[in-house]
Amino acid sequence: MKTSNIVLIVVGILLLIVGWTGCGKYNTIITKQEATKKAWAQVENVYQRRMDLIPNLVNTVKGAADFEKTTLTQVVEARAKATQMTVDASKLSPDQIKAFQSSQGELSQALGRLMVVAEQYPQLRATEAFRDLQVQLEGTENRITVERQKFNDIVGEYNTYIKRFPNNIFAGMMGAEEKGYFEMTEGADVAPEVQFEF
């Protein structure tokens, strides 16, 4: 066998190995990207559940005639702002996640203030509608925590995969970029300050 034929066979085998490996890496990256999109969709789903509960909660609270109107206005405005915040599920960059988290954090703080203020109205707390909404909202907040953790786990797997060698070469060729995580919001460890206006 001629040397040139041997070289061609070796080069051909190497190209097949690289091609086969590249296809496997490509498919794995795509699978992990889709997993992050799916996890993000579930995060949005539980946040949407909370958004859907808020109008009912606000309407129930409005029934307390002397209830603090400023707090209700803050909740409605925070919900509107959070509703306008959209994130491109194909990117999920750290900046996008941070902006989304910030708008949702403002809504969480407004809801927290609403619940603290509601404690001052025994007749409101005594209504079945308010109690039911409060329980649903608490359950939704727990779901949000669970789904955010699942999202962070999946993003962690994806980010680790695309950063490892030789995956990083294929990820770079595909334009696969690092995804963002949910992190503790600045000031989340401080209880909200509530001021009553009568």
46-55 residue pLDDT tens: 999 999 988 8
Lowest mean pLDDT among 121-125, 158-162, 179-183, 186-190: 186-190
Distance CA 95, CA 107 (A): 19
> Residue 192 — pLDDT band, cuts 50, 70, 90?
very low
118-148 residue pLDDT tens: 877 777 777 788 888 888 988 999 999 999 9
Distance CA 106, CA 53 (A): 16
Model's pTM, two decimal places? 0.76
The answer to whether the beta carbons of residues 90 and 47 sit under 8 Å apart is no
Domains of the chain are 37-174 (1.20.120)
6-35 residue pLDDT tens: 888 888 888 888 888 888 889 999 999 999
The 10 Å Cβ neighbour count of residue 25 is 21
The answer to whether the beta carbons of residues 110 and 78 sit under 8 Å apart is yes
The 10 Å Cβ neighbour count of residue 103 is 18
| Per-residue b or e along 35-58, where b marks 16 or more CB atoms closer than 10 Å to that residue's CB | ebeebbebbbebbeebbebbeebb
Q: Which residue is associated with the tokens 């992050």? A: 36
